[in-house]
Amino acid sequence: MFFFPGGGEIPKPKRESLLQELVQIARLSFKVMSPSIMSSGRIALGDVTPNNVGQLRKLNQVIFPVNYGDKFYQDVIEAGELAKLVYFNDVCVGAVCCRKETHENETRLYMMTLGVLKPYRQLGLGGRLLQHILEHANEFSSIYLHVQITNESALSFYKKNGFEVVGTEKDYYKHIDPRDAYVLRKTL
C-alpha cells in the first residue's frame, strides 16, 4: 500500500503511475549529474516494507528478465536484514533479496536477486548490498545464487567478490533464453 503524507491510501492506478515515475526519476537524475557528483553521491540502505515493496517490484521488472510473483514479495517483506533497497541521493536504484534454506543439515543463504538500475552500476552500490548481506550472514555456512550463463558482468562481479562457479543447472529459466544458469557459491 502507498499512503499520502497526510494520510490515506493512494489509488491503484495512481500507484502504478508513481512507480513508473520512480524509474524515470532515477534515469533523469543520472543524466543531470556530473561525474564528480556521481562519485560523491550519498548511498543509503533501507528496509523493504509493505509501504515500499511496490518500488522493489518495479525495480525488478526493469532490471531482471524474470517476473516474480506475489509470494516472492511477501517473503521479502518478512526477510528483515536479508532484503534491502539501496538509495543513491535519495532515489531508490537497486535491491538485494535473500532467503534462508536448510539443505542436508546445512543452513545456507540463497540470494534470489541482487540488482542495480543500469545507469547506477559501477558506483559500488551492488558491492554495498552484497557487503550488507555478508555482514548479516554469520549463521550460514555458505551463500549461493544462480546467474544466467551469458551474464558476463554478473559473473565477473561475483567472482571478484569470492564466489565460485560450482555447477550448471540446465533449463533453470523457463521463459528466457538461454535457459541455463551457473550456480555460484561462497563459503562463509
CA distance linking residue 100 with residue 188, whole number of Å = 14
| Beta strand spans in 4-105 (E) | 43-47, 83-88, 91-103
Query: How many angstroms from the chain centroid is the CA of residue 41?
Result: 19
Nearest to 124 by CA among 157, 82, 148: 157
Handedness of CA 138, 144, 147, 151 (dihedral sign): positive
Q: Does the annotation count 73 as an active-site position?
A: no
- Choosing from 110, 132, 172, 173, the catalytic residue is 110
Handedness of CA 129, 114, 60, 40 (dihedral sign): positive
- Choosing from 144, 146, 158, 182, the catalytic residue is 146
Q: Does the annotation count 110 as an active-site position?
A: yes
Residue 47, beta-bridge partner list: 84
Active site residues: 110, 146
